[in-house]
Amino acid sequence: MKEKTTKIDVGIIIGRLQVHKLHSAHIELIDSVKNSCDKVIILLGLSPLRNTFENPLDFRSRKIMIQETYPDIDVYYIDDNRDDVDWSKNVDTQIRKWLNPNQTVKLFGSRDSFLPHYKGKFPVCELEATTFISGTEIRKQICNNYHPSIDYRAGMIAGTANRYPTAYTTIDIAVINDKQEILLVKKPNEKNWRFIGGFSDVNSNSLEEDARREVSEETGVSIGDPQYVGSTQIADWRYRSSRDKIKTILFVATYISGRPEGADDVEAAKWFKIADLKKTDLVEEHGVLFDMFKKKFPSETVTISLYTDTQLLTDAQMP
């Protein structure tokens, strides 16, 4: 990297360095700043999210990684902030704590670094990189080609242990036709039936969109606007001994068109008379959904109507 400034006292590098080892672009940046400054400090961005693909490593592991190669460099962290101005003020406050009186300081970064977000008081310098290496691509390569050593296994255990417990969002849909029937599905190797449903898509715009997609994918039919019935935790056998849990949103929707057929991960789809349906017809974990549905629609005749208060009413409740 090329930097056209006279030597200064303290050079500050701000980055994330979310990789398993320093790569050549990191080394080029750090060496360039070391050649321009008497002292170098690295600030590592610290996300409020733990153990994500974008931020898999904690501060301590990244600090050790840096100081294995550069033991003379001080490494601190700076918390992420939604507002660039507030983040910049925090950066300036932290830097002033480490400066001696009359020391000169400059912040260094590359074109795709923190520089566009910094609104603080200290001078900055954009360094021209001769190589560009993507941390995202490195993480992808590691996912596809890792060596399951003892250190890897220990790291996986520590990483998952430090992750916040997760409530996974799913949606289930009671599809009703004008014959007072409800459409249920059966999965392979299951004796009983279940409501149509699945996990929410992180890229969808709404849970209602997820509901339409799941009905289409699993049965091939189209439905009207899904209407909210309620939400509950599901005792999914896969999560019974896990800190993570599943919470689902139950919708009801009217059938519009299409011939129901099992698809995706569903073996069969079938209409059932609502009046004849029993809780024991369903898989155990969907018993709570059956109770929610019957509580919302206690009458054998179900008519879905959307009122201004967004409540769902049965024929018996309608004025």
pLDDT per residue as tens digits for the range 220-254 = 999 999 999 999 999 998 888 889 999 999 999 99
pLDDT in tens, 181-234: 999 999 998 999 999 999 999 999 999 999 999 999 999 999 999 999 999 999
3 belongs to a structural domain: no
Both 103 and 197 in one domain: the answer is: no
Both 58 and 177 in one domain: the answer is: no
Q: So what's the pLDDT on residue 139?
A: 82
Structure tokens at 188: 């392979």
Residue 109's closest CA among 93, 125, 133?
Answer: 125
Q: So what's the pLDDT on residue 187?
A: 93
Q: Which residue has the tokens 């700076």?
A: 78
2 belongs to a structural domain: no
132 belongs to a structural domain: yes
Q: Residue 182: which CATH number?
A: 3.90.79.10
- Whole-number mean pLDDT of the chain? 88
Both 180 and 307 in one domain: the answer is: yes
Final residue of a structural domain among 146, 161, 176? 161
Counting every residue written for the chain, the total comes to 319
Q: So what's the pLDDT on residue 294?
A: 93
Interatomic CA distance for residues 64 and 57, integer angstroms: 11
Both 139 and 259 in one domain: the answer is: no
Pairing of strands 37-46, 8-15: parallel
Interatomic CA distance for residues 59 and 317, integer angstroms: 58
Both 90 and 181 in one domain: the answer is: no
Q: Could you tell me the residue range of the domain that residue 103 belongs to?
A: 8-161
151 belongs to a structural domain: yes
Q: So what's the pLDDT on residue 203?
A: 95
Across 103-112, 136-145, 218-227, 271-280, least confident range = 136-145
In the three-class reduction of DSSP (H, G, I as helix; E, B as strand; rest coil), residue 166 is classed as: coil
Q: So what's the pLDDT on residue 268?
A: 94
The torsion of the CA quartet 40, 42, 43, 45, rounded to 10 degrees, works out to 160
pLDDT in tens, 38-93: 999 999 999 988 888 889 999 999 999 999 999 999 999 999 999 999 999 999 99
pLDDT in tens, 15-44: 999 999 998 889 999 999 999 999 999 999
Q: Estimate the share of the chain in helix, then strand, then coil, as percent rounded to the nearest 5.
A: 30, 30, 40
Q: Residue 155: which CATH number?
A: 3.40.50.620
Final residue of a structural domain among 141, 161, 181? 161
Residue 172's closest CA among 255, 232, 120?
Answer: 232
Both 307 and 171 in one domain: the answer is: yes
CA atoms lying within 13 Å on the CB side of residue 200: 18
Q: DSSP labels for 121-158?
A: SS-EEE-B-S----HHHHHHHHHHS----HHHHHHHHH
Both 130 and 217 in one domain: the answer is: no
Average pLDDT for 100-124: 91
192 belongs to a structural domain: yes
218 belongs to a structural domain: yes
Residue 286's closest CA among 215, 196, 219?
Answer: 196
205 belongs to a structural domain: yes
Q: What are phi and psi of 34, to 5 degrees?
A: -60, -35
Q: So what's the pLDDT on residue 111?
A: 67
Q: So what's the pLDDT on residue 311?
A: 39
* CB 183, CB 175: distance < 8 Å: yes
Both 157 and 173 in one domain: the answer is: no
Both 312 and 171 in one domain: the answer is: yes
Both 69 and 126 in one domain: the answer is: yes
Q: So what's the pLDDT on residue 246?
A: 95
Average pLDDT for 170-187: 95
Q: How many domains does the chain have?
A: 2
Residues 6+ apart with CB under 8 A from 158: none
Name the residue with higher pLDDT: 146 or 100: 100
Q: So what's the pLDDT on residue 128?
A: 76
82 belongs to a structural domain: yes
Q: So what's the pLDDT on residue 217?
A: 95
Q: So what's the pLDDT on residue 135?
A: 77
pTM value > 0.95: no
Final residue of a structural domain among 128, 161, 194? 161
Both 178 and 290 in one domain: the answer is: yes
Q: So what's the pLDDT on residue 317?
A: 40
pLDDT in tens, 309-318: 333 434 434 3
DSSP 8-state code for residue 19: S
Both 157 and 20 in one domain: the answer is: yes
